[in-house]
Amino acid sequence: MSRLLLIVAMWVSTAHAATVVPVTMQPLLGKLRKGITNDIATIAEPIEKALFAIGFSQCSEVKKLLGVDYATFNRMDPDLNSLSLVFTTRSVDIKYKLRDAARLIPQSEWFDPTKPLKIYLHGFFDDPSQDAFTKLSKAFLDAGDVNVLALDASSLLGWRYLRATTMVQFIGEQLGKLLASLVKAGLRRSNIHLIGHSLGSHISGFAGKTFKTLIKHRVGRITGLDPAGPCFSDVNVTLRLNKKDARFVDVIHTDAGVYGIAERVGHVDYFPNGGSKQPSCPPTHLLDSCSHSRAWLLFAESVTNPDAFVGVACPDWAAFQNQQCNYSDLSPMGLASRPGTRGTYYLSTAEESPYGLSEDGIRFVKSEGVFRFFTDIFSMFTGQR
């Protein structure tokens, strides 16, 4: 099987490079490329998940040995002065140092505590100048008049992943203190919506925990966009995002078991396309964040099109594939996810933007593999199936 795939892949590559493929063959050639990609993904995915599980199974012990665990950093009183917030409305973009934000934001003429507050928290090797926040903030401001904040923690979440997984707790605690001060300045806690991608999901969780300790109530909502899995899988729930961190916690899984967490961590967890390998992404996840990034792309689309994604209650991906779901229990994924929703939902999406299939997404569409290509070749020459 693997040798056959390699031979065919080489032929496809050569044919493509020579650009002499007959027009009548081009649709089939496209199907072949897609089929090879799907078959490679099917083979590689369980291997990658096993490697990630083994590689990060001893995170806590390794961090202690390297001196990058929470207890060690806490004794050192880590420097968080580089943390900043980008405050965005329809008319202004203002940057605050996090340490000054509690004092300056309530005094700002641009801040309206009666409006919903959306706070985006980026992940590893990211910052608010990148596509995730620019697309999300534009979507929110196009959809309604809201306050939009983004935490810039890039100075602490870059390069060294093990260190970054520890820093999320310190960052979340500082953010939780800011939110508590904003509530005291008039912001309704029910209007607070934290939206975190990857490591940012767990920052959201620690912010929610700290807020609850200070205010004795929970923030309104946390949305986890493919919460980071390495070093956060199979740990005590107090050490990661969990459903107790907000009144409503909804989670979208798009790279579960590799860069994202596979566990159910919210009140409601959505698993588009099974929650792992996403359509049109490269067949392997290693050193590629396509599937991991798909979570924020889906969420951004849901802001401007609330009906784009509809999930169906299902016990697991196999049940979804075999149409063994509760089709009377549907739930929108993304911004339109309804507080009070509980359980696990699955859905299919399109391969390219716009990704939403609305209610058509509650049915599984099997990805074509390389053997389907040879079936089509046989059909073309014989007229038979």
**Residues noted as catalytic:** 198, 226, 292
User: For residue 355, which of 292, 273, 270, 267 has the smallest C-alpha distance?
Assistant: 273
Residue with tokens 């994604």: 309
Burial class (CB in 10 A: 0-12, 13-18, 19+), 21: middle
C-alpha span between 7 and 25 (Å, rounded): 18
C-alpha span between 356 and 352 (Å, rounded): 9
Contact 122, 157 (CB under 8 A): yes
Sign of CA dihedral 295, 29, 370, 310: positive
DSSP secondary structure letter of residue 256: B
C-alpha span between 385 and 68 (Å, rounded): 60
Distances (CA, A) of 299 to 259, 292, 369: 18, 12, 29
- What is the DSSP secondary-structure string of 132-171? HHHHHHHHHHHH---EEEEEE-TTTSSS-HHHHHHHHHHH
User: In 3-state terms, what secondary structure has residue 121?
Assistant: strand
